Structure formats: structure tokens, C-alpha cells
Amino acid sequence: MKIIMPVCAALLLIAGCKKDTAQLPEADKTTDYFPTTAGSYWVYDNYYQLSPTATPLYEGIDSTWIVKDSTINGQSYTVFATSIKNSTSYTIKCYRDSSDYIVDAEGTIVFALDKDHVLSEGTYSDPYRYKDYLRQNDTSVTVPAGTFTSKCLIREIYATDSTWTDKDYVSHFYSKDIGLIQYNYFFLSSPKEKYTRKLARYHIAQ
């Protein structure tokens, strides 16, 4: 009995330790919000407003799809193609995951989950500058494809002189396991005219 009791106590201690060991949830990765599997596609409805209070006008669809992987300067990139407003022509952009930052072929950060730092900044043309950062709080966004919790990447645009005294913003909304679900933007030549691209349907290849 003197031998059995310590062994039983040890077994109970081990069992207790096993019960206390919890499986921690996996942390989100940048690629959870920026899928890169060939065969994936996204279709967006486009809307246009002459002013912030005007009724949005439908302008057709944009389509984005992943073509393939490609090597640029020894680095592997995912090739995205986009056609604008039902056009038969398309543009090509290349992105890769660089230490949990999505960057383009020029090395510019286009998305990350880093909420503590400005992700990128630069100049359009003097005097207009921009800086990109991730909004601190998640946002619920409703688009034709559904309602999604999303991360909002903000591009803050401002002038360095008195040409344009107000700041304005471009917003990209990314949802986990889907990608870009909404994009709000404008052109510097006519900043009061607003454009919105909303996800209508999508397919993420496995």
C-alpha cells in the first residue's frame, strides 16, 4: 500500500495537468484575408455617386481572378488579373506574402494585420500624399454577397499645402477566408465624386 499510493497520486497529478492544458486558438495570418490559390475569383458590383448625398448609380461589374504563380527576381508571386466594368481587357498585378505582409512586385505593402504602425506612405504627385494603416476595430459590412466581419485598411489622403485643406479616405474591407469585399475610392481630379466596389459573388479555390 505504501508503494501504490504515491504512484496513484502521481497518476492523478498527470491527469490533472492534462485537463488544464488548453489548445490555444491559431492566430490569424495575413493570407487568411488575402487568398492566393489559383482558380479563386471575385466579382464586384460598381456604384458611382456624383456627390456624397446623391443616389448611387450602378456602373457594371469588375472581376478579379488568380491566374497562376510566377517568379520575379527569385521570389514567388501570385498573379491577379482584373477586368474593369465588363471590359474584355484586363490588368495584371503580382503579390506575395513577405513575413506576414502582403507586398506587390515593387515591394509596397498592400495589406497586413499590423494595427500599430503606418503600413506604407508616399506621394501621388505634389502636393498630394497618402499613408495606409489598419483601423483598430473590426467592421461589419453588408454587400450583395452577404454580411461579413472585416478588417478595414484605410488610405488617408492629404495635401501638403493649401491646395486641399481637408483629408479624404480610401477604404478597403477584407474578410477572413474571402478577401476584399468592398472598396470605397475617388479620384483626385474630382474628389467629391465617390465610387464603391461591392462583392457580389466569389469562389475561393482549395
pLDDT greater than 90 at residue 188 = no
pLDDT greater than 60 at residue 123 = yes
Q: What is the DSSP letter of 56?
A: P
Q: Per-domain residue ranges for the chain?
A: 28-203
Of the pLDDT bands very low, low, confident and very high (cuts 50, 70, 90), residue 180 is very high
Cα gap 76→71, rounded to integer Å: 5
pLDDT greater than 50 at residue 2 = no
Regarding predicted confidence, which is higher, 181 or 1?
181
Single-letter amino acid code for the residue at 86: N
Of the pLDDT bands very low, low, confident and very high (cuts 50, 70, 90), residue 4 is very low
- Residue 151 near residue 140 (C-beta atoms within 8 A): no
- Residue 168 near residue 184 (C-beta atoms within 8 A): no
> pLDDT of 54-72, one tens digit each?
889 999 999 999 999 999 9
Fold category of 28-203 in CATH: YmcC-like fold (2.40.360)
pLDDT greater than 80 at residue 17 = no
Say whether pTM exceeds 0.85.
Answer: no
**Cβ-proximal residues to 184 (8 Å cutoff; 6+ apart), any chain:** 169, 170, 171, 194, 195, 196
Instruction: Tell me what pLDDT residue 53 has.
Output: 83
**Cβ-proximal residues to 183 (8 Å cutoff; 6+ apart), any chain:** 44, 170, 171, 172, 173, 196, 197
Instruction: Tell me what pLDDT residue 85 has.
Output: 81
